[in-house]
Amino acid sequence: MDIRFEQAEARFEGRTVVHPLTLSLTERRIGVIGLNGSGKTTFARMINGLVLPAAGRVTVNGFDTVKDGDKVRGQAGFIFQNPQNQIILPILKEDIALGLKSRKLSKAETEAAVGAMLARFGIAHLGERRAHELSGGELQLAALASVLVTHPGILIMDEPTNQLDLKNHSLVERTIHGLDENIIVISHDLGLIADFDRVLFFHEGRLAHDGPPAEIIARYRELAA
């Protein structure tokens, strides 16, 4: 993984949400923390081109988010805070297959790829189910399958354990820790990212602290106290 911010900033309606940022991300597991409105989600969305820089440059594995948008999205998948919002088709296995449509696979190849992804996350029995029939944990696994079926090397997750009960929280946490992909996780769930390689702490649109989880989480707790 090679993500670079070069004096990149984000603005909405004339307001700077992420101030000019120069940063390189190469670690396999990175956490992103901060108070609500600190700019952390906007920062994460800049990585796969959901938010384009108003100034400066962002590259992902050498691809520019402005010039090479499709290639960047092929490198970095994004799972939203409410995963139900990104499951488009009513039947889960059809939604997963939708991500493969541009690859012009045969029906058999598509079915095999979808089946393998459902099996990977232990949700083969949910393939014929509708999104509204799934629990919070099952929705997160469904969203993971829908994004990872195209094999992006980087996965960005926005509050993946938000509003989950204990059972579903444990299920999603175990799944995240078992992923092979490089992951960037935005989270208020500090325990989830406590053993990550690196944590970024945003405050008022700026990267306030950056370093090992224990040190950065401690700084965040001081601010939030």
Q: pLDDT tens digits for 33-84?
A: 999 999 999 999 999 999 999 999 999 999 999 999 999 999 999 999 888 8
pTM: 0.93
Structural domains of the chain sorted by starting position, each given as residue range(s) with its CATH number in brackets: 3-224 (3.40.50.300)
Least confident of 67-71, 72-76, 164-168, 187-191: 164-168
Using alpha carbons, select from 44, 3, 10, 28 the residue that is nearest to residue 186.
44
Distance CA 225, CA 216 (A): 14
Residue 12's SS3 state is strand
Instruction: Looking at 100-155, list the stretches that DSSP marks H as alpha helix, in order from N- to C-terminal side.
Output: 107-120, 136-148
